[in-house]
Chain A
Amino acid sequence: MNKAFRDKRTIFLMIFPGLAFLFFAMIMPIFLSIYYGMTDWPGIGPMNFVGLKNFREIILSDSVFWTSLGNAVKLTLVTLFLQNPLAVIVCIMILACRKNARFFRTVYYIPAIIPIVVTTKLWVGVFNPTYGLLNKFLSVIGLDFLATNWLSNPRTAVWSVILIVIWQGFGWAILFYYSGLVSIPNEFKEAALIDGAGGVKLYTKVILPLMMPVIRAVVIIALITCFKQMETVYLSTGGGPGNITQFLANYLYIKAFVSYEFGYGNALSILFVSISLLGTYLLIRFTRAKAGEY
Chain B
Amino acid sequence: MKAKRVIWLLTGLLVLCTLPAAGGLNAAAEKVVLRMGDNIPDRNSPWGLVIEEINAEFMRKHPHVEIVTESLQDQPYQQKIRIYAASNQLPDVFKYWSHPPLLGPMVENDYIMALNPADYDDMGFVAGSLEVNMYDGKLYGLPTNADFWVIYYNQRLFEENKVEVPATMDELLAAAEVFQANGIIPISTMGREGWPLVITFDTLVGRYSNDFDIIQKALDREARFTEVPFLQAARKFMELVNAGLFQADLLTSDYGAARNLFGQEVAAMHVMGSWELGLSTDTAFSEQFRENVRAMRFPAVAGEAGDIDNLSAWFGGNYVVSAQTEHKELALDYLDMYFTRYPDLAWEKKVNIPAQVVRATDEDGPLAQDLLAILGSAKATGDPSQDRGTPAFKEAYERLAQELVAGIKTPEQFVMELDRIAEKYAE
Contacts and interface: CB of A to CB of B under 8 A. Distances in A.
Interface residues of B, number: 36
Interface stretch (B36-44, B217-225, B244-252): B244-252
Given A42-B105, A154-B408, A258 B251 contact: no
Contacts, number: 89
Interface string A256-287: 01111100000000000000000000000000
Contacts of A236: 252
A199 interface: no
Interface residue SS majority, chain A? loop
B402 interface: yes
A154 B249 CA distance: 13
Interface string A89-124: 000000000000000000000000000000000001
Contacts of A130: 185, 247-249
B235 interface: no
Contact of A242 (B106, B391, B406): B406
Contacts of A151: 249, 251-252
Contact of B395 (A152, A237, A244, A258): A258
B412 interface: no
Given A43-B86, A154-B407, A260-B82, A240 B251 contact: yes
Contact of A45 (B109, B250, B405, B406): B109
Nearest to A151: B252
Interface in A233-265: 236-244, 254-255, 257-261
A257 B406 CA distance: 25
Contact of B249 (A44, A45, A129, A243): A129
Main secondary structure of the interface of B (DSSP, over half): helix
Contacts of B407: 154
B423 to A, nearest CB: 14
Interface string A150-164: 011110000000000
Given A43-B82, A43-B86, A241-B405, A149 B248 contact: yes
20 contacts: A42-B105, A44-B86, A44-B105, A44-B106, A44-B111, A149-B248, A149-B251, A149-B252, A151-B249, A152-B249, A152-B250, A152-B251, A152-B252, A152-B406, A240-B399, A255-B392, A259-B390, A259-B391, A259-B396, A260-B392
